[in-house]
């Protein structure tokens, strides 16, 4: 059976499951459409949250990010998980007790202001649209790579898929498809990881294999990896090379950004009780950790495999004890088939610059470091000959590098699609809920009937999918800035306003509005200064390099400062103006205690 047929079968089976769930989980009311009728068990919701959260970036790119940077990129591991602690303690239980359907709705009710609600909607739309474009592009790329269709055909197939279960089932359909997608995704991630950990370290668990010894030797895997990469002129894998201050700030920005992402927050509206919301955040993190604790092992081990592929001597830690891989071997040998496969996709390339028939891979920028300098002189090297290695290849080519059977490759394809589709659906629900519930029912037509709102929700969903697909086909400049833009805005606007709404009775309408505006604007301006105004290339006022960052704060870390500005402005303005009305203070009292969440359901 060819690889193409296998891919088709596995992707076909998973899609069949998603369609089956879509038909079974049709939504009949707005409560079902927005919040799955608040009937999702905490464990199920944890699994759905994990799928909702882990995007194409987590599945495909994160291991690669860690692989080529090592310790310094641990910020993604901690930042994208630590936010769940904030969610569980600072937001989720209280917002569940509040018992409404969208994040802007809480902002509008708590700060008794339609303006505040609209600002919330605008933030939500910028965050979610930036995020969803990346997912749609991910769907297109995965399809085209594994099913040999064009990028745009792949995108339309993916969009049709999301349309099926999200327009029919809303939150209910999305929840149960996400559960299925989580299972597909985690199997696809774990199987190659376990095989590779076994091959290299003899450990079944990649998490312990990372700290184990290389098979058949006493040498620790990480020590050997450090040795080999520094031999080739790269920075050590386990060393700390960046600025400590910025590392702390970036981690914090990712954490509070994660806790402020609307599509993640609304997942906690689906559980029956307040205590379930707390527990469910724990389950979500358990399911996320199954992938996130494996990712650093996948990253480091595939980096090692790539390196030993290029320098066979590196397998024993003696990098230059054998000559580099020969061009002839790359072109003919069976175990180098993967290199030829991935060269076609443009993710990997090589060139024999000095014409010696060998392909030498090293870091050109460190050509004067020993022992590399000596090797360069001896072998008359004219530059790094592995001219292109894309980060994503660390996950995508993993099964082939480790020589795993074809069905594993097919599962990875299905897993990549599951990761992108599940996150896209969650984002689209947040977008359509904001449009139909906050804009149409909340502002334009408050007297709309239950049936009318359900119809409006479905139409908004369909339109959102269409817009996301079109943007996915022609990604605008801001799509590549997901981390800076989406996390920066979530950190500087939504997280602070929600937290203050719960933990302070004194913050009033004026304070919340002024705080949100100050937070968003300062963050946007800082990002635009370095990334270009409205992300138009070449319009940046300052260069995006550490030396030019104000106080060493990178644009992606600025969300923390934006959040701080938000808190301070809201506090000062609120204290200079009148107290919130009595009924608002009572509302805050009531969301702080779990009792009575049942009644709040009867919306």
Partner 1 sequence: MSDRQSTNAYWKANLRIIYISMAIWALASYGFAIILRPLISGIKIGGTDLGFWFAQQGSILVFIVLIFFYAWRMNRLDREFGVEE
Task: List residues near partner 1 by CB under 8 A.
Answer: 66, 71, 74, 77-78, 81-82, 84-85, 88-90, 93, 207, 210-212, 219-224, 226, 238, 240, 244, 247-248, 251-252, 273-275, 278-279, 281-282, 285-286, 289, 292-293, 296, 589, 592-598
Dihedrals φ, ψ of 361, to 5°?
Answer: -105, 120
Query: What is the rounded distance in angstroms from the CA atom of residue 118 to the CA atom of residue 191?
Result: 45
Tell me which DSSP letter residue 500 carries.
H
State the nearest-atom distance from the C-beta of 218 to partner 1, in Å. 11
Q: Which residue(s) pair with 326 in the sheet?
A: 358
Tokens, residue 322? 């054998």
State the nearest-atom distance from the C-beta of 302 to partner 1, in Å. 15
State the nearest-atom distance from the C-beta of 371 to partner 1, in Å. 21
State the nearest-atom distance from the C-beta of 381 to partner 1, in Å. 29
248 vs 572 by CB, closer to partner 1: 248
Give the SS3 label for residue 270: coil
Is the backbone of residue 475 left (phi > 0), alpha (psi -120 to 50) or beta?
Answer: beta
367 vs 564 by CB, closer to partner 1: 564
413 vs 498 by CB, closer to partner 1: 498
State the nearest-atom distance from the C-beta of 190 to partner 1, in Å. 16
State the nearest-atom distance from the C-beta of 317 to partner 1, in Å. 11
State the nearest-atom distance from the C-beta of 598 to partner 1, in Å. 7
State the nearest-atom distance from the C-beta of 286 to partner 1, in Å. 6
Tokens, residue 226? 């450090």
Give 242-245's long-range contacts (Cβ < 8 A, gap of 24+).
Answer: 242/72, 243/546, 243/552, 245/552
State the nearest-atom distance from the C-beta of 251 to partner 1, in Å. 7
Residues 6+ apart with CB under 8 A from 544: 530, 531, 554, 555
Tokens, residue 41? 């068990």
Query: What is the rounded distance in angstroms from the CA atom of residue 118 to the CA atom of residue 442?
Result: 9
DSSP H stretches of helix in 36-150? 42-53, 56, 62-69, 74-86, 92-98, 103-110, 114-147
322 vs 585 by CB, closer to partner 1: 585
Tell me which DSSP letter residue 214 carries.
P
State the nearest-atom distance from the C-beta of 219 to partner 1, in Å. 8
10 vs 80 by CB, closer to partner 1: 80
Query: What is the rounded distance in angstroms from the CA atom of residue 168 to the CA atom of residue 455?
Result: 11
Tokens, residue 249? 């700030």
State the nearest-atom distance from the C-beta of 557 to partner 1, in Å. 13
**Is residue 119 within 8 Å of 497, Cβ to Cβ?**
no
78 vs 462 by CB, closer to partner 1: 78
**Is residue 221 within 8 Å of 362, Cβ to Cβ?**
no
57 vs 454 by CB, closer to partner 1: 57
Distance of CA 581 to the CA centre of its chain: 40
**Is residue 391 within 8 Å of 143, Cβ to Cβ?**
no
**Is residue 188 within 8 Å of 181, Cβ to Cβ?**
no
Tokens, residue 367? 């050509």
282 vs 312 by CB, closer to partner 1: 282
357 vs 598 by CB, closer to partner 1: 598
14 vs 300 by CB, closer to partner 1: 300
268 vs 530 by CB, closer to partner 1: 268
Which residue has tokens 């599962």? 411
Which residue has tokens 């069905």? 407
């Amino acid at each position: 059976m060819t690889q193409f047929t296998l891919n088709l079968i596995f992707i076909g089976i998973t899609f069949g499951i998603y369609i089956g769930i879509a038909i079974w989980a049709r939504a009949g009311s707005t409560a079902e459409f927005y919040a799955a009728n608040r009937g999702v068990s905490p464990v199920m919701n944890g699994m759905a949250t994990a799928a909702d959260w882990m995007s194409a970036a987590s599945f495909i790119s994160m291991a690669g990010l860690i692989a080529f940077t090592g310790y310094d990129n641990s910020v993604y591991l901690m930042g994208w998980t630590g936010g769940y602690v904030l969610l569980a303690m600072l937001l989720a239980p209280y917002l569940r007790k509040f018992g409404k359907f969208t994040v802007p709705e809480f902002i509008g009710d708590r700060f008794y202001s339609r303006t505040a609600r609209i600002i919330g909607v605008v933030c939500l739309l910028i965050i979610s649209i930036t995020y969803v474009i990346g997912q749609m592009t991910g769907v297109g790329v995965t399809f085209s790579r594994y099913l040999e269709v064009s990028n745009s055909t792949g995108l339309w197939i993916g969009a049709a898929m999301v349309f099926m279960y999200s327009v029919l089932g809303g939150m209910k359909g999305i929840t149960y498809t996400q559960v299925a997608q989580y299972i597909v995704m985690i199997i696809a991630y774990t199987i190659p990881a376990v095989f590779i950990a076994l091959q290299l370290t003899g450990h079944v668990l990649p998490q312990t294999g990372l700290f184990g010894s290389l098979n058949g030797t006493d040498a620790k895997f990480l020590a050997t990896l450090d040795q080999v990469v520094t031999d080739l002129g790269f920075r050590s894998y386990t060393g700390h090379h960046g600025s400590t201050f910025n590392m702390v700030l970036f981690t914090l920005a990712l954490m509070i950004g994660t806790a402020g992402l609307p599509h993640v927050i609304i997942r906690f509206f689906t559980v029956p009780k307040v205590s379930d919301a707390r527990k469910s955040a724990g389950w979500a993190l358990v399911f996320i950790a199954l992938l996130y604790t494996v990712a650093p092992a996948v990253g480091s081990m595939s980096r090692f495999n790539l390196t030993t592929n290029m320098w066979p001597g590196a397998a024993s830690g003696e990098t230059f004890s054998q000559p580099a891989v020969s061009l002839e071997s790359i072109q003919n040998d069976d175990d180098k088939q993967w290199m030829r496969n991935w060269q076609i996709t443009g993710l990997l390339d090589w060139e024999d610059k000095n014409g010696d028939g060998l392909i030498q891979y090293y870091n050109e920028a460190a050509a004067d470091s020993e022992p590399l300098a000596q090797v360069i002189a001896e072998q008359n090297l004219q530059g790094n000959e592995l001219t292109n290695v894309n980060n994503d290849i660390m996950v995508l080519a993993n099964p082939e590098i480790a020589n795993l059977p074809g069905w594993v490759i097919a599962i990875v394809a299905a897993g990549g699609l599951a990761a992108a589709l599940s996150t896209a659906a969650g984002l689209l629900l947040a977008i359509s809920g904001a449009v139909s519930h906050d804009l149409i029912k909340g502002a334009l037509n408050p007297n709309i009937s239950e049936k009318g709102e359900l119809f409006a929700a479905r139409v908004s969903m369909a339109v959102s999918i269409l817009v996301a697909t079109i943007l996915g086909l022609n990604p605008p400049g801001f799509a590549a800035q997901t981390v800076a833009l989406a996390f920066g805005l979530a950190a500087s606007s939504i997280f602070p306003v929600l937290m203050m709404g719960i933990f302070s009775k004194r913050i009033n309408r004026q304070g919340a509005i002024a705080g949100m505006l100050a937070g968003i604007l300062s963050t946007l301006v800082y990002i635009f200064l370095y990334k270009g105004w409205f992300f138009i290339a070449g319009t940046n006022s300052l260069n995006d390099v550490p030396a030019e960052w104000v106080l060493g704060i990178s644009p992606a870390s600025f969300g923390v400062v934006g959040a701080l500005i938000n808190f301070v402005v809201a506090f000062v303005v609120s204290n200079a103006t009148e107290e919130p009305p009595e009924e608002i203070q009572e509302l805050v009292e009531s969301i702080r205690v779990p009792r009575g969440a049942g009644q709040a359901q009867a919306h």
